[in-house]
């Protein structure tokens, strides 16, 4: 039994000697799964108020990927995927990815990701999504270290073409990582209970603070790790990457943008959009699910405008982080870190305001 576990606010990265001349030259090229790469380590969360085709297209234009959520009919989810594929197949975008990173090669394939569950029509859904153009299927469940996930991976591996990768999660232990890798997963989605609207840790008592969780999992797996939950700033993204994660899943940071699903709401002389957890009562109600086992909240958040500018700010922050760590790319980014006190956390924020 461990006495202490740490999350992003508990640590600060230690600056290292750097030869980085310009942040613009820093590469954010990375793996999102065993066989697919990104030019920026950002994945739009498969939440119904975060990612449909408009968000996924903008993520692709930035060098990342959006995961089309599963709270749609099979036909509608496939239509969302098809619109993303149509955009990605444009020669202009293919050429753009060659300019986003020197590591991106002409024989690389831009990923298209969509989510499925583990019950009901998940296998039929996955086949349809692949036929629509998806090449990464994300098994989207709250507790990924589960017999149903094991069976789902086995089933999908047996029915889908070899070029399709399977990312599975969510998990929060080293043993879970070992097991999912043994079951045939091509990538891991890591983090339980740390999301901005997630109440799992309060409702159940289960969850592992993200720094400890990521460190332990990255120490035992060869698969690309996607850090999910608890990420509020580009500094948190940098910490997740420094701990060995290849990508981060973004929810609240890109919710409330023009490209996120949902209407703009006028309220109290301001503009807002809805944002809700995947296990919230509102999500379950809207999609006709049983209104039990609620482990999330819903809210409205200020409208942020175009996601392009949000992503640019996050990329700038991550590139700055790599320059402080003396790294020209994510493979070189392995800074030391220190555990800080609450006073250290206060010092790290604008404390004059």
User: What positions carry a catalytic annotation?
Assistant: 198
**Residues linked to residue 276 through DSSP beta bridges, in sequence order:** 298
Q: Tokens 């955009």 identify what position?
A: 87
Total number of residues shown for the chain: 353
* Residue 96 to residues 60, 119, 139, 345, Cα–Cα distance (Å): 10, 38, 29, 39
Three-state DSSP state, 170: strand
3-state secondary structure of 326: coil
Region of residue 6 (left: phi > 0; alpha: psi -120 to 50; beta: else): beta
CB-CB neighbours of 156 under 10 Å: 23
End-to-end CA distance of the chain: 40
By the 8 A CB rule, do 12 and 338 touch? yes
| Type and span of the H or E element at 140 | strand 136-140
Both tokens assigned to 59:
């993520």
Q: 28 near 231, Cβ under 8 Å?
A: no
- CA distance readout (Å), 214 to 189, 256, 343: 10, 27, 24
CA-nearest of 145, 152, 148 to 169 is 145
d(CA 258, CA 55) in angstroms, rounded, equals: 9
* Alpha helices in 184-337, H assignment, sequence order: 200-204, 210-218, 234-242, 281-286, 307-324
Asked if residue 281 lies in contact with residue 291, where contact means CB atoms within 8 angstroms, the answer is yes
User: Residue 292 corresponds to which tokens in the numbers above?
Assistant: 């039990």
């Amino acid at each position: 039994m461990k006495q202490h576990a740490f999350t992003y606010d508990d640590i600060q990265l230690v600056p290292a000697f750097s030869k980085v001349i310009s942040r613009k030259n820093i590469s954010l090229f990375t793996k999102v799964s065993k066989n697919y790469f990104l030019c920026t380590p950002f994945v739009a969360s498969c939440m119904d108020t975060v990612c449909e085709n408009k968000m996924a297209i903008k993520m692709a234009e930035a060098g990342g990927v959006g995961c089309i959520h599963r709270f749609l009919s099979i036909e509608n989810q496939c239509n969302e995927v098809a619109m993303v594929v149509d955009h990605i197949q444009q020669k202009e975008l293919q050429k753009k990815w060659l300019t986003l990173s020197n590591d991106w090669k002409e024989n690389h394939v831009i990923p298209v990701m969509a989510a499925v569950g583990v019950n009901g029509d998940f296998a039929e859904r996955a086949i349809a999504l692949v036929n629509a153009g998806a090449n990464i299927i994300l098994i989207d469940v709250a507790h990924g270290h589960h017999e149903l996930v094991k069976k789902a991976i086995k089933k999908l591996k047996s029915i889908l073409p070899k070029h399709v990768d399977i990312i599975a999660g969510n998990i929060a232990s080293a043993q879970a990582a070992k097991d999912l890798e043994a079951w045939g997963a091509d990538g891991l989605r890591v983090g339980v209970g740390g999301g901005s609207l997630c109440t799992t840790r309060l409702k159940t008592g289960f969850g592992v603070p993200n720094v400890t969780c990521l460190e332990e999992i990255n120490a035992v797996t060869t698969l690309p790790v996607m850090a999910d939950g608890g990420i509020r700033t580009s500094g948190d993204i940098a910490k997740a990457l420094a701990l060995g994660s290849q990508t981060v899943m973004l929810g609240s940071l890109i919710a409330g943008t023009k490209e996120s699903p949902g209407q703009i709401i006028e309220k109290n002389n301001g503009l807002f959009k809805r944002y809700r957890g995947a296990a919230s009562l509102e999500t379950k109600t809207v999609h006709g699910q049983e209104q039990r086992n609620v482990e999330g909240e819903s809210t409205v958040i200020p409208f942020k405008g175009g996601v392009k500018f949000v992503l640019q700010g996050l990329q700038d922050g991550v590139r700055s982080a790599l320059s402080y760590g003396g790294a020209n790319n994510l493979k070189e980014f392995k800074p030391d870190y220190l555990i800080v006190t609450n006073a250290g956390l206060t010092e790290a924020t604008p404390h004059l305001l």
